[in-house]
Structure 1
Amino acid sequence: MSLPNLFWFVFYNFGLFAWGGPVAQIALIKDRLVIQDKWITLARFQRVFSVYQILPGPEAAELCMFFGCLSAGRLGGIVAGIAFMLPGFVLMLLTSYVYSLAGLENKYFNASFRALQPIVAAMILKATHKIADHSVINHSTKKMDTFLIIAALCTAINGALHINIFISLAFYGIFYMFITRRLFIPAAILFILQYVGFALYVVYRGFPSPVSLALGIAPTPTLAHLFILGLVAGSLSFGGAYTAIPFIQVEAVLKGGWLSQSVFIDCIAIGNVLPAPLVIFATFVGFQGGLVDGGLGNVFAGAVVITLGMWFPCFLFTIVGHSLLEKLVRNKLLASFFDGLCGSVIGVIAIIAAQILKNSVEGSPRKEELVGSVNAALGRISHTGSAAVLYLLALGVLYKFTNKYTPLLLLACGAVAGQFIFV
């Protein structure tokens, strides 16, 4: 295909119809290009997909870039990637603008998003379970690996202890490298040393604060900071956007303080609705960051630069070339490191799922609830109870119905329900 034809082909067939999350997006690409058009064999598709499952970034976008490379070389890969992400990016940009106009003071708008927040928390918990299904499986035995489960559980504990997520990810990557090479004594020593080191830190520096989880790379939402925030988050997105979510939450909400928790949960809800990989939520974060300094140009620039940073690793992998990536992934030492890291990622996502659950059920107090009257307190309790019920109902629906459009319908119903519950 020529580059313009390739752009339109990906844009029209995949970009506009990227609904229903990564499973639906990948199935759409596979059905059209492998089953119907037979660009490559099914066996080769499985090998290609296995590579992108290990690497950071949305697999559907990387698959589009791979097929773009087959059609028109590396430039074709970049064109295909842009065509796939463009519809979701434009829609998120428009949605961010509408949200900034109506979402902060409008009680009806806020009521819908108040109902969506516990539903999003349920979706993240379900995603944690789903990602864990393949992240704790030993590729050789095809059975659950005890050491990968330990990596996930201990990473969650480390998160509760406010140990930086980068330390846990790197540590359990190395830990599992030792395990796969049957170096159990060095692995045990390394495991013990992490908590000895933590105990010494507590003795001499005190218990770490929640902001110790952050690197502090975006203390203010300048364009440079937003680009770096997106770049690091995109490089960390093993298992999809759910790994990038805790990192951006820690940097923007906890450390930077320029984004509120409730607005952050709202952006994840919007990202789940649009036809795009969930990493598109970063566009919303950049837009909100631009609002801090004001100015329409700065707002849109913030949305653009963080999106470029988030997607840059995907495009870099395309430029590097699939054959080299496949060699790296098949390297046994690197493969075991990635396996340990992916197991650790489950713990990172579990921690953010618990935090978002807490914040989504409690919600942010409204002005009238800050007065302190008995009626205000009762209203607060009522709203918290309603949010908890929504969370449980959403969780039940997600586990009962596995159709790709279930999350979309759930969010739509939640938005309507919010008008009756929270107005």
Structure 2
Amino acid sequence: MEHKSAEDLERSGTRPVEASQDINHEDSRSSIYLEEFEDNSKVPKMGVLPIFWLFLTRFGIFAWGGPAAQIARLKEELVIKEGWITIARLNRVFSVYQILPGPEASEICMFFGCLAGGRLGGFAAGVGFILPGFIFMLIASYLYSIVGFGNIYVNASFRALQPMVAAMMCRAVHKIAEHAFIPQGSKTVNPFLVGYALFTALNNALRINWFISLGVYGLINMAVTRRYYIPAGIVFVLQYVGYGLYVHFKGVPSPLSFALGIAPTPDLPHLVSLGLVSGSLSFGGAFTAVPFIQAEAVLRGGWMPQQTFIDCIAIGSIIPGPLTMFSTFVGFYGGNVYGGLGHAFAGAVVITLSIFFPCFLFVIAGHRVLERLVRNKFLAAGFDGICGAVVGVIAIVACQLLKASVNFQGHGEILNEEQRYQLAAQNSLAAVIFVLTFAALYNFQYRFLIILLVIMGALAGQFLFV
């Protein structure tokens, strides 16, 4: 009898037969493997409100420390202590959600909610998990709008936090690359995926729209995995032929070409569009939403200053919940710019709902369907190619944030010689903060390291930049 691996069993969806005298040793091992990956018999059946309360009080309120800490808490409480599913099953779930857009911790909460209460249970679990972070960010956005502009002490703290955010982004590039460059089912780095990241960065220098790069390298990787090297080469060359023709007839693209122009003004419909696009392309976690929102709000729309954008990422790093919640700040700020305080609260709500909508849709639509899609090698290769290209996008934005944080140019005012020397000294201090933060992120694995660093940075800013 042919021996089936755990993956083969899970793909086929077959259930082990009852024990009988003619079951051989291989069938027994297959049953063990199947139970390890499929047995959900210990999942309690719960109503919508109990699920909401569970994920609000046990996970949402305590979702500090970033996605690694959030997922570790879910694993400790629901898998190890209560045994809802096996660790092997959780690892399989996590591998699926790493490929799909959206914050993984939120998606895993929704997955557990679906197991306990169906689709409504998944919705309740997701809302319970992200609600505390949304409330915290909404309050922080309001306070920032009141005292954040022109307040010397608040600005000093955020001046110190900005290079720390740049260090977090640079560290995130490495973390995301560790997963993105190793395709599903493999344990080695795929050089093609590394190449997609490098050429996406090159395309950035040529001012080729990021979305073009994502689509091109997704298609190329689908062809490469089928060993269709000639079609892959043709697609690769065509992107630069098309670029050459564009330059010949219209000139070199402007820096605004990185954005689609979906949020030229921060009114409610445009904020919804911004959230949907960013949420749909956030492959690899929350940090991947940063480039797309920055391109629309800072570069193309111009309604949000770069320094303020970095500030909102800093705030998002210390509140409970997924970092994607920084979008709430963006919606609040944009709404305030467009129509005042009432519009600001509406903008915060609509962009938050829209940026989380794709991950809610993917998970609640059916995890098993997603698993089957991801196991399709052709489609999975497309996801892998997009993820590889996304690393290049994030790397470029990380460099841009680093430049903005350590090479601060003031607010456009004319500076005398003494003020220029003072600004240069502050930029040097910002560079030192970046190096120290970057070193700490690599050398310490403490669960609440990010929160401690942000608190220390905010305090240090009072002594360094006031």
Task: Give the TM-score normalised by structure 2.
Answer: 0.89
Contact 1:234–1:312 (CA<8 Å) still a contact in 2? yes
Structure number with the bigger relative contact order (C-alpha 8 A, sep ≥ 6) is 1
* 2:151 is the alignment partner of 1:106: yes
Structure 2: 5+ residue runs without aligned partners?
A: 1-45
Q: Distance in 2 between matches of 1:211 and 1:175?
A: 26
1:392 maps to what in 2? 435
Q: How many residues are matched?
A: 421
Contact 1:160–1:351 (CA<8 Å) still a contact in 2? no
Contact 1:218–1:229 (CA<8 Å) still a contact in 2? yes
Structure 1: 5+ residue runs without aligned partners?
A: none
1:288-329, Cα deviation, whole Å (9 max, x unpaired)? 011113333211000000000001012111331111111111
* 2:226 is the alignment partner of 1:163: no
Q: 1:44 aligns with which of 65, 86, 89?
A: 89
2:192 maps to what in 1? 147
Identity of aligned residues (%): 59
Q: 2:417 aligns with which of 348, 361, 374?
A: 374
For the structure 1 residues 141 and 55, does the alpha-carbon distance in structure 2 shift closer, same or farther, using more than 3 Å as the test?
Answer: closer
Contact 2:157–2:457 (CA<8 Å) still a contact in 1? yes
Considering fraction of residues, name the structure with more helix.
Answer: 1
* 2:435 is the alignment partner of 1:409: no
CA deviation after TM superposition for structure 1 residue 67, in Å: 0.8
SS of the residue corresponding to residue 273 of structure 1 reads coil
Q: How does 1:53-72 map to 2 (within 5 A)?
A: 53-72=98-117
Contact 2:110–2:364 (CA<8 Å) still a contact in 1? no
Q: How does 1:52-131 map to 2 (within 5 A)?
A: 52-131=97-176
Q: Distance in 1 between matches of 2:357 and 2:70?
A: 20
1:318-361, Cα deviation, whole Å (9 max, x unpaired)? 33111111111111110010011111110010010011011111
* 2:295 is the alignment partner of 1:250: yes
Q: Distance in 2 between matches of 1:375 and 1:295?
A: 38
For the structure 1 residues 292 and 410, does the alpha-carbon distance in structure 2 shift closer, same or farther, using more than 3 Å as the test?
Answer: same
Task: Give the TM-score normalised by structure 1.
Answer: 0.98
CA deviation after TM superposition for structure 1 residue 141, in Å: 3.9
The residue type equivalent to 2:153 in the other structure is Y
1:148-204, Cα deviation, whole Å (9 max, x unpaired)? 000011111111221111100011011111111111122122222222221221111
Q: 1:219 aligns with which of 264, 284, 292?
A: 264
Contact 1:114–1:363 (CA<8 Å) still a contact in 2? no
Q: CA RMSD in A?
A: 1.1
* 2:444 is the alignment partner of 1:419: no
CA deviation after TM superposition for structure 1 residue 364, in Å: 4.6
Q: Distance in 1 between matches of 2:207 and 2:452?
A: 36
1:192 maps to what in 2? 237
* 2:393 is the alignment partner of 1:348: yes
* 2:408 is the alignment partner of 1:363: yes
Q: 2:371 aligns with which of 320, 323, 326?
A: 326
2:60 maps to what in 1? 15
